[in-house]
Amino acid sequence: MFSENFFKTNRNTWLLPPKIINSWVTAENITGTLLQNHVPEEIDFFSLDMDGVDYYILREVLKSVQPRLIVVEVQNVWKTEKSVAVRYSSNFSRFNFHEDYCGASIPAFAKLMKENNYKLVAHNKYGFNLFFIKENLGGDYLAEIKASDCITNLPNYYIEELDKRRKEAEHLDWVEV
């Protein structure tokens, strides 16, 4: 992991090095953490990949910060079949359950982001990283795509793997959102 010293001495970031905060993040403390560290309401980019209660953290972040671009890792074992998230717990760890019991499905994040005036504009090759921008940005250059587009062109071997992984995790305590 990079240290603050790395950024202070790197010629690309020495003028404005990032502030590194080492903290256990919960839905209850994220807003205070952002305010305490003077994160402005409007920022350019926000990325979330916690393998945990990501859905609930992002829901709280969007109450105080409005990034122009958001990248979020989703739980794609559900493909676009259900709008679900793990049950929230402030001390959640997927390792107490199953490696695929984390995050939220593609439809869950798509719905949350739509409610907060974001549009889905892209995804990575395997549909587990989704890219959202504010609805008023991008014009015709970044047209909105459907959640189902995130899984349309997945290779057969990967779809089979997702189905296998879902069967292993679907009995866990998923919550419809």
In a domain, 123, yes or no: yes
> Other C-beta atoms within 10 Å of 133: how many?
19
Q: Which is it for strands 129-134 and 84-86: parallel, antiparallel or unpaired?
A: unpaired
Q: How far is CA 146 from CA 43, 55, 98, 101, 128, in A?
A: 25, 19, 29, 24, 14
Confidence of residue 9 (pLDDT cuts 50, 70, 90): confident
Assess if residue 7 is contained within a domain.
no
- Expressed as residue numbers, the domain containing 64 is 23-176
| Structural domain includes residue 91 | yes
Amino acid at 114: K
pLDDT at 142 over 60: yes
In tens, the pLDDT along 83-107 reads 999 999 999 999 999 999 999 999 9
Confidence at residue 167, expressed as pLDDT on a 0 to 100 scale: 97
| pLDDT given for residue 54 in this prediction | 98
Is the residue at 27 inside a domain? yes
Q: What is the pLDDT of residue 103?
A: 97
pLDDT value, residue 118: 98
pLDDT over 90 (residue 158): yes
How many domains does the chain fold into?
A: 1
